[in-house]
């Protein structure tokens, strides 16, 4: 045992002597250059390249690090058993990511494979800094094959950023904005005030013909995924929808379903609080991308009637709130009655002019109960690209309401009862809001709710038939009275 310790001490002495001799013969600069040369040789023969993505770049937060963290949270190929759970500010869901020093393999386009590793090491003692740094140094190490270098640094990282933005938008609570009263600014200098948007309406719950809903959803997806198309064709990345129909047909629910489907914020523009075209432009400039700009009941909010119905007095087309008097629209810029002086040109530029291009991926939605009152210039393609008629409740929409409010499928309702509902629904001309009220009132007794709905539909249908019959009788009497007069006029013409 003594000989073993003696041998070990001798070896340690030889090692210490060799180390001191090596430091004397080969200075630190020579050793550093040698290690650097060996490292280059290893990299030359290696099939991989490595990229460091640190959490903090200098004194600024690295946006790419946050994007990678969000992107990896959606991956289903996590190999580690430990996950890091986070919940961000203004977020309604919990996201997970790689834990410290864990790794996963990601595949892009089915051919490019990369390895992500979350590297966390203690940070050395900090020197004086204007911004305190975290105690740990965090970052991601990306390993990829050299042949895939161009793809990784190009389209792959762009894909990671886009996916992270999409996840961030879905996780965050959507906001509903409205313009401040009288154009005033909030504490941050913004003309919009916001509240969390938690409307539960979706396309699944929307009472509308399924085929029509599918067309709208496909059009929305084409728009949201059409960035390259709009750039190639030289068009602004925006789209306009006009929702028109009787009150209670679900126009506001349609807007909420569109926002929930795309994950967009909503800007509810109150035109009566906008006084000039300049204010309208400023409001547009302060809207964010990926948003829906809504003007509800545009035929009621301002006097925006069809120019063809005016008596050749359309040189300026300035508008005032209903009831403000004719003097409010007498000339552009006049504001004697305290109304707004928004011109038709200003509103058109808001939706389809140069100012409408100051943001990207935005949807304009107008709603009206009387489409015939609107100026044709507002309705043409490019401003309102898709006209959606929100009509009375149809039989397919009725089945959706029965499922929403009563939990009934087609098999849960008697076949004979369904046939009776189908026969009377078109003649009744009841809106989804009217039918929903009947179902809500009797939702505790589902069978009673359906039969009472059938009775309400029959009553409404009979009333409509009576009104139509009365109108037909009046029309026939009017024609009968006009026929002798026309015959007398014809005889006078013949005699003359």
pLDDT exceeds 70 at position 338: no
* 288-306 per-position pLDDT tens digit: 888 999 999 887 766 554 5
* 355-368 per-position pLDDT tens digit: 667 778 899 999 99
pLDDT exceeds 80 at position 100: no
Looking at per-residue confidence, does 321 or 489 come out higher?
A: 489
Contact call for residues 258 and 220 (beta carbons, < 8 A): yes
Mean pLDDT of 316-338: 41
Contact call for residues 120 and 100 (beta carbons, < 8 A): yes
Q: Nearest CA to 51 among 123, 122, 137, 115?
A: 115
Which of 32-41, 70-79, 131-140, 445-454: highest mean pLDDT?
445-454
Mean pLDDT of 189-204: 86
- The mean predicted confidence, pLDDT, of the chain is 79
Q: Nearest CA to 433 among 399, 461, 393?
A: 393
| Poorest-pLDDT segment among 2-6, 239-243, 387-391 | 2-6
Phi/psi at 140 (5° precision): -110, 135
Written as six digits, the tokens of 259 are 């926002």
Number of CB atoms found within 10 A of residue 114's CB: 19
The predicted structure's pLDDT at residue 221: 94
Written as six digits, the tokens of 397 are 């929409």
* 392-428 per-position pLDDT tens digit: 999 999 999 999 999 888 788 888 888 999 999 999 9
- Residue written as tokens 């009375």? 392
Mean pLDDT of 172-197: 77
Mean pLDDT of 165-174: 76
Q: Nearest CA to 467 among 494, 429, 441, 432?
A: 429
pLDDT exceeds 90 at position 273: no
Written as six digits, the tokens of 49 are 């390249």
Which one is the CATH code of 177-306+343-389: 3.20.20.370, 3.10.450.100, 3.90.76.10, 3.40.50.300?
Answer: 3.40.50.300
* 341-352 per-position pLDDT tens digit: 777 777 887 777
* 465-492 per-position pLDDT tens digit: 888 877 766 777 677 666 665 555 666 6
The predicted structure's pLDDT at residue 380: 84
Query: SS3 for 144?
Result: strand
* 217-270 per-position pLDDT tens digit: 999 999 998 988 988 988 889 999 999 999 999 999 999 999 999 989 999 998
Looking at per-residue confidence, does 162 or 485 come out higher?
A: 162
pLDDT exceeds 80 at position 42: no
Looking at per-residue confidence, does 316 or 196 come out higher?
A: 196
Confidence bin at 327 (pLDDT 50/70/90): very low
Sorted by where each begins, the domain ranges of the chain are 26-123+133-171, 177-306+343-389, 395-477
Confidence bin at 333 (pLDDT 50/70/90): very low
pLDDT exceeds 80 at position 196: yes
The predicted structure's pLDDT at residue 432: 93
The predicted structure's pLDDT at residue 128: 52
Which DSSP category does 220 fall into? H
The predicted structure's pLDDT at residue 138: 84
């Amino acid at each position: 045992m003594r000989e073993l310790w003696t041998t070990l001490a001798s070896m340690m002495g030889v090692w210490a002597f060799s180390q001191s001799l090596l430091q004397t013969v080969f200075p630190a600069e020579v050793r550093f250059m040698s290690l650097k040369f060996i490292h280059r040789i290893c990299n030359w023969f290696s099939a991989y390249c490595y990229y460091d993505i640190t959490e903090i770049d200098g004194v600024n937060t690295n946006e790419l690090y946050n994007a990678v963290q969000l992107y990896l949270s959606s991956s289903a190929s996590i190999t580690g058993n430990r996950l890091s759970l986070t919940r961000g500010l203004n977020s309604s869901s919990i996201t997970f990511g790689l834990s410290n020093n864990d790794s996963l393999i990601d595949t892009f386009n089915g051919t490019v494979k990369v390895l992500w590793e979350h590297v966390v090491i203690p940070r050395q003692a900090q020197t004086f800094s204007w911004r305190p740094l975290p105690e740990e140094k965090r970052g991601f190490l990306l390993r990829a094959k050299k042949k895939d270098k161009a793809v990784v640094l190009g389209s792959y990282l762009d894909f990671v950023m886009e996916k992270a933005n999409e996840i961030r938008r879905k996780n965050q609570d959507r906001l509903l904005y409205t313009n401040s009263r009288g154009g005033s600014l909030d504490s941050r200098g913004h003309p919009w005030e916001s509240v969390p948007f938690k409307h539960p309406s979706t396309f699944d719950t929307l009472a509308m013909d399924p085929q029509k809903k599918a067309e709208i959803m496909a059009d929305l997806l084409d728009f949201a995924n059409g960035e390259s198309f709009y750039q190639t064709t030289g068009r602004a990345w925006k789209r306009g929808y006009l929702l028109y129909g009787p009150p209670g047909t679900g126009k506001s629910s349609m807007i909420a379903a569109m926002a929930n489907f795309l994950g967009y914020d909503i800007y509810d523009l109150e035109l009566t609080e906008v006084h000039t075209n300049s204010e309208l432009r400023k409001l547009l400039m302060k809207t964010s991308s990926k948003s829906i700009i809504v003007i509800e009941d545009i035929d009621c909010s301002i006097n925006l009637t069809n120019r063809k119905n005016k008596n050749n007095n359309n040189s300026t087309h300035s508008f005032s709130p209903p009831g403000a008097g004719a003097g409010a629209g007498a000339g552009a810029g006049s504001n004697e009655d305290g109304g707004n002086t928004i011109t038709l040109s200003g509103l058109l530029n808001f939706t389809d002019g140069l100012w409408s291009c100051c943001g990207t991926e935005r949807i304009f939605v107008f709603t009206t109960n009387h489409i015939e009152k609107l100026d044709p210039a507002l309705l043409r393609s490019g401003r309102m690209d898709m006209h959606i008629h929100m009509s009375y409740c149809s039989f397919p929409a009725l089945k959706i309401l029965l499922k929403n409010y009563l939990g009934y499928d087609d098999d849960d309702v008697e076949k004979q009862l369904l046939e009776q509902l189908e026969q009377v629904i078109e003649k009744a001309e009841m809106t989804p809001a009217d039918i929903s009220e009947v179902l809500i009132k009797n939702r505790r007794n589902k069978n009673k709710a359906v039969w009472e709905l059938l009775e309400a539909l029959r009553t409404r249908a009979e009333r409509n038939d009576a009104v139509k019959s009365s109108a037909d009788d009046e029309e026939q009497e009017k024609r009968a009275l006009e026929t002798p007069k026309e015959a007398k006029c014809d005889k006078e013409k013949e005699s003359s």
